[in-house]
Structure 1
Amino acid sequence: MDVMSPLKPHPNSPSPTKKLLPFALYALLPIALLCFYFHPFHHLPPNNPTILTKEEEIVYETPCDYTDGRWVHDKMGPLYNGTTCGTIKDGQNCISHGRPDLDYLYWRWRPSQCKLPRFSPNTFLRLLSNKHIAFVGDSMARNQLESLLCMLATASNPNLVYRDGEDNKFRTWHFASHNISISVYWSPFLVKGVEKSKAGPNHNELYVDTVDEKWGSDLDHIDMILLSIGHWFLHPAVYYEGGLVLGCHYCPGLNHTEIGFYDVMRKALKTALKTIIERKGANGNGIDVFLATFSPSHFEGEWDKAGACPKTKPYKEGEKMLEGMDADMRAIEVEEIEAVKVNAKQIEGLRIEMLDVTKLSLMRPDGHPGPYMYPFPFANGVRERVQNDCVHWCLPGPVDTWNQILLEVIRKWSIQSRRKE
């Protein structure tokens, strides 16, 4: 006869585990809810495709105007913060620089016609596996790139594999988990240009019919390109076309015709898009092209005076209208992208889309570093004169929404491609 151990329950008696299980479940439930609240399960497993219902696929096939919407308060906040991501440019790291008001972190863009899901790093990494993504343009391109890197870093570690140029203007990161490379190319005009300097002329020089080969020569190795230009065209410049002086913008003392900058920006954009189509469309390799529309600044008064961008909340719907230069810059970009999209449909593997962020960015006067482009600017008291950045965006901040919209367009493209197979 077997002798029963005093440590084992009687076979006919209820198991202690079974007795304790309901209590354990009740005890764990509040903990699970708290974890879900602070760390929602918005990530998808890497390399695991998103499974969509037929209804969801229909939603993604329905066109959505992401420019039509409003900012609503969101208690979940951003995916990352200023201390957990090492790729943020120092001047946009508002949290570590001591910005005291943090309400600007708790807003999300709600389109009127559709839903804009929270950014899923794993979904982005899965959809762009084995691709090279390039952000090309001015500092707004860099601002968006660093936002994307920070969000992706919550799911996979980016390794800096290339760095060159003053202020790290040319860099490449690699995500080994999905074999994705993400690069930034400093090219504030997209075309060939000579930037003003202390040693040279006090104006920029642009060659509007010649692409900037710093990025143009790498097109064969780029699968997705995101262009962003605008603010640098406001600076004094002399323009060249066909080897001759075309005119200038704000060039007193020079014997050139003043022609402004609107038509020149249009010519530069035409040259860039034409080059991409010719070089990528001709060889059949294909490329996805995005153009981020003009991102408005929010200066109220002098740039070096306290309170240059003092707002701490988004504008309400109808409180701020898109007009003046902001509307004109966006209109040029919209017209050029729409014109190119007509021809792009005839080229296999070429997809061109506009990332229309002008209006939603206009509504966020609270999202700039302002004086917090420098660490603790008022540590020794409030000074009358202090340099302000009311152009770029704090990270985390409103620019994260640009990448949310980017992901949704890529996701729709993926669904449409699968249906064609």
Structure 2
Amino acid sequence: MGSVHPFKHQSHSFAKKFLPWTLYALLPIALIRLYFYPIPHSLSPTDQLPPNNPIIITTPSPSQEEERSHVQIACDYSTGKWVHDKNGPLYNGTSCGTIKDGQNCLSHGRPDKGYLHWRWRPKQCQLARFEPTNFLQLLRNKHLAFIGDSMARNQLESLLCMLATLSPPQLIYRDGEDNKFRKWHFPSHNVNISVYWSPFLVKGVEKSNSQNYNKLYLDSVDERWVSDLDHIDMVVLSMGHWFLHPAVYFYGDSVLGCHYCPGQNCTEIGFYQVFGKAFKTTLDTIIEKRASSGIPIDVIVTTFSPSHFEGDWDKLGACPKTEPYKEGEKKLEWMDEEMRKVEVREVEEAKEKGERFTNFRLEALDVTKLSLLRPDGHPGPYMYPFPFANGVTERVHNDCVHWCLPGPVDTWNEILLDVMKRWEGQSRSGR
């Protein structure tokens, strides 16, 4: 669409006489305008074609008039690359007292520090550095609960450490072995953040010395967290790795089958469908108990977090890499791909069920692919303090599943904050 020349209806002599002086007058105004409001970089044609399941963020426009509105840009945070970041993390291994001992790689003597200096750069948008003030303001007077397995705890402890750089959390509740049920309070914004140990989300009996397999009841959610659901405003769900263990599956009084259960006289059915069913039961229960009651609730599903074992878990070099994979070097496949696919599918189906409720919001926090590219972010042998203080031993236990804190999991909470900012910019009825 062409622009109209401002002197189109003037005579040629008039334009010749006054046009140069007009341009001289406009030039300094234009320079001042560019100095205070630089022209933003435009998106390339490929950037304007988002992949499936985009996350919408809002970006302020340059002029003061346009700052009162927002431009919506589609962005898939799971597509991008890790770039070097000289700034490093917001916190260290001693600045907050909430890091589980096995993930405190700095305090345990990990010698290389390069894993601390990477930031995730999505292909189609910018991911802002975490802002503790913004997060607590968005959560003011609310209760956020992380529910799931040790990955839920890993993400929770990362969040607490980043928030502690602004406002120290107060531990107000602790119950269960290994701190599996805890709650913190941030008086500055009247915010509660808690963690519930529930590795299956549904009702389950964990394996023990007398029972070498888990029992899962797929038609009922875990009462330990659902009994508090009326007092929770936002939920982050995270599970997956416990479904790899031997298990027998029940639905009501019927045995559906099992996974890796020799001697139990059950049909082997694997765990992918069971994993999906557990999520379906969980999301359906939240919709039924909260959305249908008219009480608002926001739900985040953190997708499956890949492990990076390259050798035996008790041998040196189980996850030896010290840098991220480069773009295109590692492909999402096999179990990691399937677990993510199951979660995304269940989220989309639950979104359709919850569309009629304006008080229910649900989003998949798709971290599987970006986490796959960080084989350097696990504790490895530094799950224990100074494992080589007395020399290199023949056998050393490695953790190539959980994440060092600080580490890549901090990025999950940067994306979580961006989702919360987008929700804040939308009315519930205008989703």
TM-score bin (small chain) = 0.7 to 0.9
Whether 2:202 is the aligned partner of 1:191: answer yes
Amino acid at match of 1:208: L
Alignment match, 1:219: 229
Return the offset for 1:345: 1.9
Task: Decide which of 168, 179, 204 is 1:168's aligned counterpart.
Answer: 179
Aligned to 2:142: 131
RMSD between aligned residues:
1.7
Aligned pair 1:207/2:256, yes or no? Answer: no
Alignment of 1:272-283 (within 5 A): 272-283=282-293
TM-score by length of 2: 0.84
Structure 1 distance, partners of 2:69, 2:362, is 21
Q: Give the corresponding residue for 1:367.
A: 377
What is the CA–CA distance in structure 2 between the aligned matches of 1:419 and 1:166, rounded to whole Å?
42
1:262-298 superposed Cα distances (whole Å, 9 cap, x missing partner): 1111110000000000000121011000000000000
Determine if the alignment matches structure 1 residue 348 to structure 2 residue 358.
Answer: yes
Distance, in Å, in 2 between the alignment partners of 1:217 and 1:413 is: 26
Question: Residues 178 and 280 from structure 1, CA distance in 2 versus in 1: closer, same or farther, beyond 3 angstroms?
Answer: same
Question: CA 1:253 to 1:102, structure 2 compared with 1: closer, same or farther past 3 Å?
Answer: same
Q: Distance in 2 between matches of 1:310 and 1:129?
A: 42
**Distance apart, 1:344 and its partner CA:** 1.6
- Please give the per-residue CA displacement for 1:71-93, whole angstroms capped at 9, x wherever unaligned: 00000000000010100000000
Does structure 2 retain, via aligned residues, the 8 Å contact 1:57–1:415?
A: no
**Residue 128 of structure 1: CA displacement?**
0.5
8 Å CA contact 2:59–2:73 kept in 1: the answer is no
Aligned positions, number: 370
Residue identity in the other structure for 1:269: F
Go from structure 1 to structure 2 and tell me whether the alpha carbon gap of 1:291 and 1:51 turns closer, same or farther (over 3 Å shift). closer
Contact 1:138–1:188 (CA under 8 A) maintained in structure 2 = yes
Aligned-pair distance for 1:57? 5.5
| Comparing 254-263 and 361-370, the one that deviates more | 254-263
Paired position in structure 1 for 2:402: 392
Residues of 2 paired with 1:399 and 1:186: CA distance?
18
Question: 2:151 aligned with 1:145, yes or no?
Answer: no
TM-score (norm 1): 0.86
SS in 1 for 2:344: helix
* Residue 73 of structure 2 corresponds to residue 86 of structure 1: no
Query: Displacement of 1:51 after TM fit?
Result: 11
1:317 equivalent in structure 2 = 327
Q: Which residue, out of 397, 411, 418, partners 1:401?
A: 411
2:239 to 229, 240, 243: 229
**Is 2:33 aligned against 1:58?**
no
TM superposition shift of 1:384: 2.1
Runs of 4+ in 1 over 4 A off after TM superposition: 50-53
Q: Which amino acid aligns with 1:218?
A: D
Query: How far apart are the structure 2 equivalents of 1:283 and 1:365?
Result: 44
CA separation in 1, counterparts of 2:60 and 2:80? 25
Distance 1:76 1:102 in 2: 12
Corresponding residue number in structure 2 for 1:291:
301
> Which residue in the other structure is 1:18 paired with?
none
Question: Secondary structure of 1:76's partner?
Answer: coil
Say if 2:152 and 2:238, in contact at 8 Å, map to a contact too.
Answer: yes
Percent identity (aligned): 71
Conserved 8 A contact 2:221-2:285: yes
3-state secondary structure, aligned to 1:291: strand
Residue type at the aligned position of 1:72: V
Deviation at 1:244, TM superposition (A): 1.2
- For 1:25, the equivalent position in structure 2 comes to none
- Residue identity in the other structure for 1:311: K
Segments of 5+ residues of structure 2 without an aligned counterpart are: 1-57
User: How is 1:101-112 mapped onto 2 (pairs within 5 angstroms)?
Assistant: 101-112=112-123
C-alpha distance in 1, partners of 2:114/2:69? 35
**Residue of structure 2 aligned with 1:180, choices 179, 185, 191:** 191
Within 1, Cα distance between the matches of 2:355 and 2:166? 35
- 1:51 to 1:310, Cα distance in 2 relative to 1, 3 A: closer
Aligned to 2:128: 117
1:52 Cα deviation (Å)?
Answer: 5.1
The Cα offsets for residues 34-71 of structure 1, whole Å up to 9 and x where unpaired, read as xxxxxxxxxxxxxxxx9955369634x22210011000
Q: Contact 2:59–2:70 at 8 Å: present in 1 too?
A: no
C-alpha separation in 1, matches of 2:112 and 2:126: 28
8 Å contact kept, 2:359–2:428 = no
Q: Distance in 1 between matches of 2:399 and 2:324?
A: 17
Query: Residue type of the partner of 2:383?
Result: M
